[in-house]
Structure 1
Amino acid sequence: MSSSTAPTTTIDRLRIAVIIGSTRPGRAGKPIADWFLTQTRSRTDIEVDLIDLADARLPVVLADNDDGSLPAEVTAVGERLAAADGFVVVTPEYNHGYPAALKNAIDWFYDEWSAKPVAFVSYGGAAKGIRAVEQLRQVFAEVHATTTRDGVSIDLGHTDRLGWPSSPGVDGAAKLMLDQLTWWSRALRTARAEHPYVAAA
């Protein structure tokens, strides 16, 4: 039985944070994230927390406070990331890379990412954001997150009037990615509970 149809309880449900990585006005990331949320609604095994970095307004300069205090915006996002069992990052490709706002959001945190899975919904031109994703795999490895093999890659030349992807197979790609993400999310949640993860000496 697939994870999307297996019976679950409220306690068993996984918390997945969907992060919109672009903060540009008029960005394609918001309608693409809206489309992706529709792909999660039929699933009984997850609940979704949408984190829009445009709303989060994380400072662009990392704090170095002697008292260990953090800006309120950072604390608020950090609590949501810490509560998540896994992540879906919705990212564009800017100049063959990922957006600065997304890197800033990753760099503000460490333990919140560690020993958790990350999947990607990328978008762009002909490359569909794949180059940004391959770079992000290296970044997330450094904070001890693990990334799923399969993701969703969207050509912005094939979207409908709402800005939602319209290419054949994109819904199936989202299901496959979610199946992998929930498997890793559950496995790593169990492992963290039984054996606390040590990221660095």
Structure 2
Amino acid sequence: MLPAQLVDLDPPLLDEVMPAFDAYVFVTPEYNHSTSGALKNALDFLYAEWNNKSAGFVSYGVNGGTRAVEHLRLMMGELQIADVRAQVTLRLLTDFRPAAQQENAVDTMLDQVIAWGLALRPLRGPALGRG
């Protein structure tokens, strides 16, 4: 299945979908020293979808979006998401061109997200369509 952007999913208001993925990578801007309101709303809205999954972060902003990820990490525990340590930070003025450093950071973060996603699979169990 190809990755989808939140806008492509067009989630309905106050209605949760069946859990579909084992892990997620959240891409977020830093907006007023936090994540965007749209992402916060989506996290709240799809509460059950996130449970017992893993997540990694790619953030961007003037300082790499690190404060947005700090806030997201606090939310992850409440949503029962195992967030991985590695993250990718992109500084608006310097990092939006190919760089080996960013490729390594992406690879490390994705490896961790996949490993945790697979490790958490037994917690989701057959009741959620997982076996």
Shorter-chain TM-score above 0.5: yes
**Counterpart secondary structure, 2:58:** strand
Higher relative contact order (Cα pairs below 8 Å, separated by 6+ residues): 2
Report what 2:110 is aligned to.
178
Pairing partner for 2:85 from 129, 149, 157: 149
CA 1:154–1:109: 2 relative to 1, 3 Å: same
Stretch deviating more after TM superposition (109-118 or 170-179) = 109-118
Q: In 2 relative to 1, CA 174–186 (structure 1 residues): closer, same or farther, beyond 3 Å?
A: same
Deviation at 1:51, TM superposition (A): 2.3
CA offset at residue 121 of structure 1?
Answer: 0.5
Coordinate RMSD, CA, aligned: 2.3
After TM superposition, the runs of 4+ consecutive aligned structure 1 residues lying more than 2 A away are 55-59, 164-168, 190-196
Aligned residue type for 1:193: G
Is 1:154–1:165's contact at 8 Å kept on the other side of the alignment? no
Q: State the Cα distance separating 1:48 from its structure 2 match.
A: 4.1
Matches within 5 A, 1:87-98: 87-98=24-35
Alignment check: 8 A CA contact 1:113 1:144 kept: yes
Aligned to 2:73: 137
The residue type equivalent to 1:49 in the other structure is P
- Within 5 Å, which residues of 2 pair with 1:181-192? 181-192=113-124
Deviations 1:162-194 (A, max 9, x none): xx4434400000000011011101100134338
Taking the TM superposition and a 5 Å limit, the aligned residue runs for 1:52-63 are: 52-53=6-7, 55-58=8-11, 63=14
- Count of paired positions: 128
Shift of residue 57, structure 1, vs aligned partner: 4.2
Q: TM-score, normalised by structure 1?
A: 0.57
| Percent of aligned pairs sharing the same letter | 38
List alignment gaps of at least 5 residues for structure 1.
1-46, 64-69, 197-201
Q: 5+ unaligned residues in a row in structure 2: which ranges? A: none
SS, match of residue 28 in structure 2: strand
